[in-house]
Structure 1
Amino acid sequence: MLKEAQTRLREATRVAVLTGAGISAPSGIPTFRDPGGLWKEFRIEDYATPEAYARDPERVWAWYAWRYRKIQAARPNRAHELLARLEAEKGEGFVLVTQNIDGLHQRAGSRRVIELHGNIARARCEWCDARVPLPPPEAFTPPPTCPRCTSRMRPDVVWFGEFLPEKALAAAERAFAEAEVALVIGTSAAVEPAASLGRYARWSGAYLIEINPEPTPLTPLAHCALRMGAVEGLEALLAPPAEDQPEGDLPKP
């Protein structure tokens, strides 16, 4: 199973990747629903909905400023770096779709990135919809003010109860529908509509690879399901062919 997945990925010219919180966990960024995840300690209703922001924008901004500091202090891990390398190899045939808001893919060198849920390092104007990067954490005092119209700005992230950006979702769906190989990494495959991207690829004829420590609703559809963390799984998947390895050595990425 792994050998076939390696071959399929190596030979593919169109590759689509979906990443979730699990890929950033080795960088020290908590996942959401796992033991010790954010939603075990904080209530979604208090920090990640439009209603929470309407009730208490200062509280929500303080929470996002805290997360922003934590995320900016984190560093991309080996899994982020391996996907950046895969993009360099595949060129324009590669698309990376992420549910994460941490920007670690871009900091690792990825450029063909679609952010479905926004980016914690940006703010969006409540009035004119302008988007601007936040200042460095040490210089940031929330809430920011729009440089265009002076209105208050909100975090440029998608909250529960909000729609995903139409253009980003359409581009993601197109990439997975056209992919020869699709990778789904570190996501529970439970949050729609992102959870359906792997299904689109499978139904369109792609070879589907899942990397996740636990089974998910997508697992039964996967041609290859690696019960590993993101780093271990990508290292295994991207190892060179055995014939390229010195005799007696284990495959290495």
Structure 2
Amino acid sequence: MTPSPTPESALKPALAHLRASKERRVVFLTGAGISAESGIPTFRGTDGFWQPGNTHVPEIARLRPEELATKAMFDRAPEILWPWYLFRRERCHAAEPNAAHLALVRLESALGDRYRLVTQNIDGLHTRAGSRRVFEIHGNIDTMRCTDGCATPYPLPYAFDGWEASRPWDDAARAAMVCPGCGAPARPHVLWFDEFYDEEHYKWDSTLAVVAQADLLVVVGTAGATNLPNRMAQLALARRVPIIDVNPTQNPFAAVAERSGGAALVGTACEVLPGLVEQIVAASSVPRDRVE
């Protein structure tokens, strides 16, 4: 896919604000849209994980997202939920970072500690691309954590690599999926619908702290259906920080971006981000004595 140029006229106010800022700090928020271009289905798209009649894991075919991805469901039927997450994990491993992921690596390289990436995605594609200053606010599908309070997430055992949807959840699988620290059952290290953000696992405080210092917020491929992304946008808006929204469809963040003095850019992440990143790098590198 050929990147499309980002309209300079739409970005001019936001980039002028960034150039004039003392620290020139930039925060990106990414959602499922950036990974869709790597072939990872969104939850509710035409090839989504939660389509009616989904046969990837037959036991979940009639369940809605709000019923399946919950702590209550895990407590009731881990033998259904674990195989479904392991199936999703294989889909993530089969995908490769795309041009948008790589553009953000370029931005981090240019800005260093003035940049922070916040992602709702659990697929690990940002870190595989090379991003290091990342808050994974919904967790990571490659990790598990203790159900009995041990704080440290652990990598999933190698025995679960290459998981096939038809594989039964047997005693051997159950015995392997335990906390290495205390032996209690382990759970996926992801945020479920009936859970809340916190700092320990999902970087609530850290995320809001970087937005509180940001001079530009860029939102990519998300409609902001959860609390923390919405809080990020509202905090930026309250601080009069420009917001740039990148999305191929209209969404609530587009209106917030325009209210902030930023811009709503219609296009996919791969179409928009390579050019947008170069403009942000240029705006962040202008010598102080040349700022108009």
C-alpha separation in 2, matches of 1:173 and 1:33: 28
**Distance apart, 1:46 and its partner CA:** 4.5
- Structure 1 outlier segments of 4+, above 6 Å: none
1:85-117 superposed Cα distances (whole Å, 9 cap, x missing partner) = 101111101111011101111111111100111
Q: Does the aligned pair in 1 maintain the 2:27–2:116 contact within 8 Å? A: yes
**Structure 2 counterpart of 1:149, from 182, 196, 203:** 182
Q: TM-score normalized by structure 1?
A: 0.87
The equivalent of 2:283 in structure 1 is none
Instruction: Find out whether 1:227 has 2:266 as its counterpart.
Output: yes
Unaligned runs of 5+ residues in structure 1 are 242-253
Compared CA separation, residues 92 and 38, structure 1 to 2 (3 A):
same
Aligned ranges 1:72-221 → 2 under 5 Å: 72-129=93-150, 130-136=152-158, 137-138=160-161, 142-143=173-174, 144-167=177-200, 168-221=203-256
The equivalent of 1:66 in structure 2 is 87
What is the SS of the residue equivalent to 1:89?
A: helix
Q: TM-score normalized by structure 2?
A: 0.76
* 170-179 or 110-119: bigger deviation: 170-179
**Distance apart, 1:5 and its partner CA:** 6.2
Bigger radius of gyration: 2
* 32-41 or 59-68: bigger deviation: 32-41
What number of residue pairs does the alignment pair up? 242
Higher relative contact order (CA 8 A, sep 6+): 2
What is the SS of the residue equivalent to 1:114?
A: strand
Unaligned runs of 5+ residues in structure 2 are 1-8, 53-60, 164-171, 281-292
The equivalent of 1:4 in structure 2 is 12
Q: Does the aligned pair in 2 maintain the 1:178–1:204 contact within 8 Å? A: no
RMSD value, Cα: 2.3
**Distance apart, 1:47 and its partner CA:** 2.6
What is the SS of the residue equivalent to 1:218?
A: helix
Compared CA separation, residues 135 and 10, structure 1 to 2 (3 A):
farther
C-alpha separation in 1, matches of 2:129 and 2:17: 21
Q: Percent identity?
A: 40
C-alpha separation in 2, matches of 1:211 and 1:145: 40
C-alpha separation in 2, matches of 1:5 and 1:109: 30
C-alpha separation in 2, matches of 1:138 and 1:96: 28
1:150-192 superposed Cα distances (whole Å, 9 cap, x missing partner) = 1110000010010112250111111112111110000012222
C-alpha separation in 2, matches of 1:126 and 1:186: 32
